[in-house]
Amino acid sequence: MKELIEFVARSLVDDPTQVQVNQSRDVGKVHLELRVAKEDMGRVIGKNGRVANALRILLRVAAAREGKQVSLDVIEPR
């Protein structure tokens, strides 16, 4: 799941070196946090969150394979 987000984020941003994905696991749940350069936020979120929502849908497929639930947050850089 982490690899999926890393792949998509690195493919969409202008600065792939700033792409970072943290994964934390709970019982039956996986939580992913995506960080990208400030200038690239729009590319991974999209208009009305369209990109981020499509990513969540794709993540659900990967998660279902492992019988897990998954959540994705895009974290605002400081």
Cβ atoms of 49 and 41 closer than 8 Å: no
Nearer to other proteins, 3 or 39 (CB): 3
Q: At what angle do helices 2-12 and 50-65 cross, to 10 degrees?
A: 150
Reported as half-sphere exposure (CB side, CA atoms, 13 A), residue 46 has a value of 11
Q: How far is the CB of 12 from other proteins (least distance, A)?
A: 6
Query: In this chain, which of 20, 49, 50, 77 binds other proteins, going by CB under 8 A?
Result: 50
Contact between 54 and other proteins per CB under 8 A = yes
Query: In this chain, which of 4, 21, 30, 34 binds other proteins, going by CB under 8 A?
Result: 4
